[in-house]
Amino acid sequence: MNVLITGNMGYVGPVLVREIKRRNPKTWVAGLDSAYFAGCLLDRKSSPERYVDVQFYKDARDIAPCDFENADAVICLAALSNDPMGNRYGARTSEINYRAIERAASAAKEAGVKRFVFASSCSVYGSAENGECDESSTVNPLTEYARSKVSAEHALERFADADFRVSCFRFATACGASPRLRLDLVLNDFVASAVTRGKIEILSDGTPWRPLIDVKNMAETLAWASEQDIGEPYMILNAGSNGWNFRIKDLAQKVREVMPETEIIISPEGLPDKRSYRVRFDKFAELSKGHVKIGDVRDTIREIRGILTENSFVDANFRDSEYMRLNMLKYLESARAVDGDLRWIP
Ligand SMILES: NC(=O)c1ccc[n+]([C@@H]2O[C@H](COP(=O)([O-])OP(=O)(O)OC[C@H]3O[C@@H](n4cnc5c(N)ncnc54)[C@H](O)[C@@H]3O)[C@@H](O)[C@H]2O)c1
């Protein structure tokens, strides 16, 4: 089987490539990425891209049918992938996360691709404090990022048919170890804080709910969906686990269970974060049985701590570092490496 992954040089991509090769070393994997975060590696001695069979350095906004030649499945990860980037680069977020996905689907279908797998997000549910969202719930996107995912999902429905199957996974917030670790994700931030400063400071009252998923489980899900037909030709599925809906303050407690010396500080004047939602993953549990193995969040915490300590990570000011994706884009722009459209300047 031949798989092409757009956005493979991010946080999820390297874990996904490893998972695809683990399942079947003969699967041919191509990556396509603009490489904004190429150097954001904890271990700079080895590049995760050594595991792909071919790497294309290309902007997803320029995708054409020839990029999908011989691909059986396409997995779309390329995105400006969080709210801070979406807030600063609103128009680019819509172009990359929505218009380029629509363009990719059209090109992939024309090229004869059979399965198109799209990484959407549970953030499409926005604020839903009083209930749990399932796939039938009304979406309530509160940010540019979430709106771009809703628009992409709608656009993809038009292309889906029995010969071009589209799976949209609304992933919970990712966490866990990756060669391109991100510290702008809530659990990763907490563990990095505990490791480097011995404390976790919660910048709200700690009550908001957030569903989480280990990046390994994201990789299992995406690999599985690229290999076989799941559900209807057009499918939207929440991806995560009912037991991984956490209140932010309870998540900090989980970190303290693993690192008991950690101090937890809840900012008393902190206002509740508007983005609070609990999500039901019953349909995912049923369909993914035997394909995705959800573990214990404390093991995920141990793995994040492990990758930080193995790489002697001590930067207590990591929120100013390249491990926050927005910082990296701002840096590329200020260094005039990319222009205001986030295109590389030759
Ligand atoms: N990390 C999460 O919590 C999470 C949760 C739900 C969904 N998702 C989705 O999963 C996908 C992967 O997430 P991630 O955490 O690996 O994101 P990431 O930001 O770490 O990686 C995204 C990759 O896309 C590439 N990219 C961005 N714009 C591009 C363009 N114009 N052309 C080509 N490549 C481009 C970047 O260079 C990067 O390598 C994203 O679509 C994201 O929205 C992530």
CA of 268 to the centre of ligand 1 (A): 34
Cβ-based neighbours of 46, under 8 Å, separated by 6 or more: none
**How, if at all, do strands 73-76 and 115-121 pair?**
parallel
Ligand 1 pocket member 219 (CB < 6 A): no
Q: Which of 5, 6, 8, 12 to mutate to test the pocket of ligand 1 (most atoms within 8 A of CB)?
A: 12
8-state DSSP, 162: T
- CATH match for 2-176+213-245+276-295 among 3.90.1750.10, 3.40.50.720, 2.60.40.10, 3.40.190.10: 3.40.50.720
pLDDT given for residue 276 in this prediction: 77
Q: How far apart are CA 179 and CA 175, in angstroms?
A: 13
Mean residue pLDDT of the chain comes to 95
Q: Where residue 126 falls among pLDDT bands split at 50, 70, 90?
A: confident
For 334, the 3-state DSSP assignment is: helix
Radius of gyration in angstroms for the set of CA atoms belonging to the chain, rounded to a whole number? 19
Stretch among 8-12, 130-134, 172-176 having the lowest mean pLDDT: 130-134
Q: Which residue, judged by its Cα, is nearest atom 42 of ligand 1? A: 81
Instruction: Kindly tell me if the per-residue pLDDT of 128 is higher than 70.
Output: no
Provide the phi-psi class of 12: left if phi over 0, else alpha when psi is between -120 and 50, else beta: alpha
Do 213 and 174 form a contact (C-beta atoms < 8 A)? yes
Nearest CA to 76 among 61, 91, 54, 92? 61
Mean pLDDT of 74-90: 97
pLDDT given for residue 130 in this prediction: 61
| Digit-coded pLDDT (tens) for 320-344 | 999 999 999 999 999 999 999 999 9
| Digit-coded pLDDT (tens) for 248-275 | 999 999 999 999 999 999 986 666 566 6
Which residues are 211's β-sheet partners? 245
Ligand 1 pocket member 40 (CB < 6 A): no
* pTM over cut 0.75: yes
For 136, the 3-state DSSP assignment is: coil
